[in-house]
Chains A and B, each alone.
Chain A
Amino acid sequence: MSWQTIIIDSFSKFTGKVITFLPNLLAMITILIIGFLLAWVVKTLLWLFLKALQVDKRSERWGLSQILSKGGSAFSPAHLLSRFCYWVVVLSTLILALNALEIEATQNFVAHFFNYLPHLFAAILILIIGYLMAIFLSQAALIAAVNAQIDSAKLLSQIVRWFLIILSLTMALYHLGIAEKVIVAAFSITFGGIILALAIAFGLGGKEWAKNFLENLYKRKEKEKEDQDRISHL
């Protein structure tokens, strides 16, 4: 075969591949344009709908806005929800667009992604619920501790908050299948270690301190009983 034939053959093969691939590329570009346009329409319509329902005002009343701002979000709940939907549509568009190329590697990626999606949503849900519970229960602990005259009420409330955040983070990572064994081991070692350290401190190192602490606690309780209001509050 002459070198001219090889060149012509190679060029015709390349042209053939490009011609075969071109419709897929065009399909991908079309999907991307329509997808982004759809995402923008969904975002705008949803935002107008949520605004009409006065979701922001209601969220303020339910304390959701405060939780979001505390979590570092600069957006209102209606804005956040519409943006979330925008990105869901954009993400779906990107995946569809990749799929339209009909390349084996991208198709495998898309299949894996869709298999992983339920785990991702579950993990996000665990994190959101965990965070909300951490805020709610740490506030409850703080108020109860102040009313019980515990001087380190804030510390107690922070312990409750971080325990719940770490617990939900661990559960979310476990659900995502990221270093499952390491996560469980780390969690067990950390909390087991804390308990062991406390036990050793109470049992050996801090024997006297523990004794004094318990004695003072008992005396304080006794004193509180004596100090209790003899007035009827009702």
Chain B
Amino acid sequence: MEKAIPEEIKEVDLLVGIPSYNHARTIKQVAQTVSAGLGKFFPEAGWILCISDGGSTDGTPEQVKKAQIEDARLIFTSHPVHPIDKIYPPYRGILGQEKAFRTFLENAKSLKAKACCVVDPDVKSITPEWMKNLLQPIYTDGFDYVAPLFARPKFDGTITNSIVYPLTRALYGRRVQQPIGGNFSFSGKLAAFYLEKAVWEDDAVRLGLDIWASTLALSGKFKVGQAHLGVKIHEAREKTSDLATMFTQVTSSVYALMGEYQDFWKGEKGSQAIPTFGDPQGMAEEPPSVNWERMVRIFRLGAKDLMEVWRKALPNESALWLASIGRLSDGAFHFPPDLWVRLIYDFAVAYRKGSVHRDHLLKSMIPIYLGWVSCFIKENQEASAQEVEERIESLCRVFEEMKPYLREHWP
């Protein structure tokens, strides 16, 4: 089922892209919700929905047909999914997503789209309001990039809240709270910029498409905002359930982009809040109990056995500090935020230098990450969601205050 751009359509106002691969269970609902949202909130605008499929075998194309999207408003293309995509899928779990994104950007260019948006194919909690919150700032308010802002339980998104958000904020100077949230929107101008800048074979694009898109928007000085979208519930929560793979992909994308855009971030100081659209919504679920003692055990095991690897990558002072907290008992266990920030910067420097094999370096970071998360959870078990937000905010400030340390050590 291939369906190209209808000949009579030369330009569109809005373009929405959904990459898919064996998403028969959810694609119909997602396509219908997107279509309903566009019809409801942009009745005057011309829009097209682009679905790019990676050769699904579970009847995804049939489900798209069943969604009964008006013929002139649907483009259905296919993108190749190579064996490597299946062996090493990206953390978002959408195989061949970068190829689908490329096709989408080419369509945006040829149709001179004013506002574009990409949506995950398996997000069950999507509502028509998502289209309004993501596309209106671009279409009517002149924004270039809008990141999602999902309501999440207080301990969810630990990689985002402990590494990606604070680091992106300290580096690029703007407070995009969920730079790896997927489901983002951008202007036609930014689409052309992406098309020009993308190296499609790069792991940063293949594995970390959303952080790549956020970083380019920030480092390119585009007008950036974020939009409340409520809760995000995926068909399968995280397709790449293996923490090591997920962690490695995210951190390697962030660190690789740091190297690429060093000229920009070296000159940035502090950070600015960005406009937020839509209404914030409460959490959908109570935070689950987390076994933080198990995480501390992994940290201790790391401090015992991985010190040899850490010493190759870290300055002596950081390694000694890690060794000393590895000796603390469960009750006294405390991971100071300034040590955590220092380590994130030390690992960024080591990644840049390549003093340890990069995959080994990032995987050896996991026990440290679990040590930090366990301390964060332990110390905030009784805290409200608001208090947890404040802790994250104070961590972000430490990242900004210690940025000179990074500048000083950056090779």
Contact = CB atoms under 8 A, between A and B. Distances in A.
B244 interface: yes
Q: Chain B binding site: helix, strand, loop or mixed by DSSP?
A: helix
Contact of A233 (B238, B297, B363): B238
Interface in A60-85: 60-63, 66
A213 to B, nearest CB: 20
Contacts of B157: 232-234
Contact of A63 (B297, B301, B355, B366): B355
Nearest to B152: A232
Interface string B277-308: 00000000001111100100110011001100
Nearest to B294: A227
A142 B304 CA distance: 11
Contacts of A227: 291, 294
B356 A63 contact: yes
Contacts of B158: 231, 233
Interface in B38-97: 91
B354 A233 contact: no
Contact of B366 (A60, A66, A142, A147): A147
A196 B196 CA distance: 62
A66 B159 CA distance: 31
B375 to A, nearest CB: 14
B366 A149 contact: no
B306 A143 contact: yes
Nearest to A152: B305
A61 B355 contact: yes
Interface string B178-192: 001000000000000
Interface string A139-150: 110111111010
Given A142-B306, A146-B302, A149-B301, A233 B356 contact: no
Contact of B244 (A60, A147, A234): A147
A227 B292 CA distance: 10
A154 interface: yes
B196 to A, nearest CB: 28
A61 B236 CA distance: 40
Nearest to A142: B305
A229 interface: yes
B305 A139 contact: no
A153 interface: yes
A143 B238 contact: no
Interface in B112-142: none
Interface string A143-167: 1111101010110000000000000
A55 to B, nearest CB: 15
A151 B301 contact: yes
A139 B311 CA distance: 13
B246 interface: yes
A146 B301 CA distance: 6
A136 interface: yes
B14 to A, nearest CB: 28
B42 to A, nearest CB: 30
A13 to B, nearest CB: 69
Contacts of A143: 306, 309, 360, 363-364
Interface string B308-337: 010010000000000000000000000000
Contacts of A142: 305-306, 309
A146 B247 contact: no
Interface in A123-148: 136, 139-140, 142-147
Contact of B156 (A60, A145, A231): A231
A136 B298 CA distance: 22
A233 B291 contact: no
Q: Which of A139, A144, A145 has the most CB of B within 10 A?
A: A139
A230 interface: yes
A146 B300 CA distance: 10
B367 A147 contact: yes
B29 to A, nearest CB: 21
A5 B244 CA distance: 94
Interface in A185-234: 227, 229-234
A142 B357 CA distance: 14
Contacts of B356: 63
Given A147-B244, A230-B288, A61 B302 contact: no
Contact of A139 (B159, B238, B287, B357): B357
Interface string B223-241: 0000000000000011000
30 contacts: A60-B355, A63-B357, A66-B312, A66-B355, A136-B357, A139-B357, A142-B306, A143-B309, A146-B301, A146-B364, A147-B243, A147-B367, A149-B297, A153-B305, A227-B291, A227-B294, A229-B290, A229-B291, A230-B288, A231-B155, A231-B288, A231-B290, A232-B152, A232-B156, A232-B157, A233-B157, A233-B243, A233-B247, A234-B238, A234-B250
Given A60-B353, A63-B355, 17 more contacts: A63-B354, A63-B357, A136-B357, A139-B360, A144-B363, A146-B298, A147-B298, A149-B294, A149-B301, A153-B305, A229-B243, A230-B289, A231-B290, A233-B246, A233-B247, A234-B159, A234-B180
Interface of A: 60-63, 66, 136, 139-140, 142-147, 149, 151, 153-154, 227, 229-234
Q: Which 9 A-B pairs have the closest CB atoms?
A: A230-B288, A232-B156, A143-B363, A227-B291, A233-B159, A153-B305, A231-B155, A61-B354, A154-B305
